[in-house]
Amino acid sequence: MRIMPGAMLGVLGGGQLGRMFVMAAQQIGYRVTVLDPASDSPAGRVADDFICADYADQAALEKLSSQCAAITTEFENIPAKSLRTLAKSCVVSPDAYSVSIAQNRIAEKQFLGINGFAVAPFAVIQQQSDIATQDVADLLPGILKVSQFGYDGKGQKAVADEAELLVAYAQLNHPVCVLEKFMPLKNEISVVVARGYDGELKTFPVSENHHVNGILDISIVPARISQQLAQQAQNVACQIVKNLSYQGVLCVEFFVLQDDELLINEIAPRPHNSGHYSINACITSQFEQQVRTLCGLPLGETAQHSAAVMVNLLGDLWQHGEPDWNLVLQHASAKLHLYGKTAARSGRKMGHYTVLGENVDTVLQEAIHIKNALNTIESNAHDKSIRLV
């Protein structure tokens, strides 16, 4: 059944991914209700209606499902139970099963392993004594990651040896964790894939991702990898959504090892930061694709019409006030996206810009030029403030 423009859609979560979903849906003519526990949120500000409530609030979930034709989520930490409740009376995608797998690193790795996808060697640490009883030596140096609620490098610590592992586990307050072997990476790439209600599949071009302190810094698209490797990553992404019987948009993050072997890092049951370039560089954006999968529409064409480099704008840039946006806006092929967040905290994603062009190497140079200019202004301001003191 197709849900047509004019209908009210719902989204759980009021962050920037929700905001970009709302904008894409409204552009086509849908209305959107956002549910988020925070009274002021990026998506809540642009929504047609806003419900301020916890994700497990039964009355709020009832209100949402009664006024929406279909509901999606913008992040994976929604209680799977809430999605099941909503699904009793409303179209919901992605489904509770897929979200429950993606929100837990252990369930995720087990699902991937059972389905024959390679992941980095790991061990599950349920309690401190597991560190002594499991043979962790082969996994060191490694990265200790909490099994749930980690994002943007939060809830993980690099550990060189067993002594550091014990300290890190205590610092994280002894939650259920996975210890992953630290992999020598040649590259990191990701693929956003969409699967429609009738099983129709479309992948977006492969993004090459560079992280700083575990947070995505830059995405370069198309990724500077072989055609063969790009095809392989897209095939894996398609296979994952098929195996999950997934309906919606999903992102697969990959590690590329030195010999071009692909490992899956993690999956996200939603559009992804590394897919933001698609808003400006593809015929259909990842957010329009999310609308299309949710409403039972045919999937949009994902072909890329311009090479693109996306740069994240983190709260650190605001240290000395609002950055000078002329540095981005004066560039005729740069697209600025700010999420409307009021508090600029260090490491917080406040916005991004995407530079477009014909050649990915030239576009990368231009994107870095803008990045350096923004950062130079920031450090000049810093110098000045020191002199003023």
Residues that bind ligand ADP (CB under 6 A): 120, 143, 145, 150-153, 180, 182-183, 185, 188, 211, 214, 253, 265-266
Residue 108 binds which entry of Mg ion, ligand ADP, none, CB below 5-8 Å type-dependent: none
CB of 316 to ligand ADP, least distance (A): 17
Q: Residue with structure tokens 């099941």?
A: 84
Gap between the Cα atoms of 312 and 35, Å rounded: 25
Gap between the Cα atoms of 302 and 344, Å rounded: 33
The pair of three-digit structure tokens given for residue 149, joined into one six-digit string: 């609620």
Query: Closest CB to ligand ADP among 135 and 358?
Result: 135
Query: Closest CB to Mg ion among 268 and 344?
Result: 268
Query: Closest CB to Mg ion among 95 and 253?
Result: 253
148 DSSP assignment: B
Query: Closest CB to ligand ADP among 85 and 286?
Result: 286
Query: Closest CB to ligand ADP among 49 and 316?
Result: 316
Q: Is the separation of the CB atoms in 315 and 346 below 8 Å?
A: yes
Residue 152 binds which entry of ligand ADP, Mg ion, none, CB below 5-8 Å type-dependent: ligand ADP
207: nearest Cα among 118, 294, 268, 148: 268
CB of 140 to ligand ADP, least distance (A): 12
Residue 325 binds which entry of ligand ADP, Mg ion, none, CB below 5-8 Å type-dependent: none
Residue 153 binds which entry of ligand ADP, Mg ion, none, CB below 5-8 Å type-dependent: ligand ADP
CB of 112 to ligand ADP, least distance (A): 13
Gap between the Cα atoms of 74 and 15, Å rounded: 7
Query: Closest CB to Mg ion among 105 and 202?
Result: 105
Q: Give the burial string for 361-381 (b: 16+ CB within 10 Å, else e).
A: eebbebbeebbebbeebbeee
Residue 289 binds which entry of Mg ion, ligand ADP, none, CB below 5-8 Å type-dependent: none
Gap between the Cα atoms of 306 and 53, Å rounded: 40
CB of 223 to Mg ion, least distance (A): 16
Would you give the binding string for Mg ion spanning residues 217-256, x where CB under 5 A is met?
------------------------------------x---
Residue 211 binds which entry of ligand ADP, Mg ion, none, CB below 5-8 Å type-dependent: ligand ADP
CB of 154 to ligand ADP, least distance (A): 6
CB of 150 to ligand ADP, least distance (A): 5
Angle, alpha carbons 47-50-51 (nearest 5°): 155
Q: Is the separation of the CB atoms in 177 and 166 below 8 Å?
A: no
Peptide bond into 121 cis (omega under 30): no
Residue 151 binds which entry of ligand ADP, Mg ion, none, CB below 5-8 Å type-dependent: ligand ADP
- Please, is 301 exposed, middle or buried when counting C-beta atoms within 10 Å of its C-beta (0-12, 13-18, 19+)? exposed
Gap between the Cα atoms of 172 and 17, Å rounded: 27
CB of 215 to ligand ADP, least distance (A): 8
Residue 183 binds which entry of Mg ion, ligand ADP, none, CB below 5-8 Å type-dependent: ligand ADP
Q: Is the separation of the CB atoms in 357 and 333 below 8 Å?
A: yes
The pair of three-digit structure tokens given for residue 106, joined into one six-digit string: 């252990």
236: nearest Cα among 101, 112, 109: 112
Coil, helix or strand at residue 374: helix
Gap between the Cα atoms of 170 and 114, Å rounded: 31
Query: Closest CB to Mg ion among 73 and 85?
Result: 73
Residue 341 binds which entry of Mg ion, ligand ADP, none, CB below 5-8 Å type-dependent: none
> In this structure, which amino acid lies at residue 79?
P
Query: Closest CB to ligand ADP among 46 and 252?
Result: 252
CB of 124 to ligand ADP, least distance (A): 15
Residues that bind Mg ion (CB under 5 A): 253
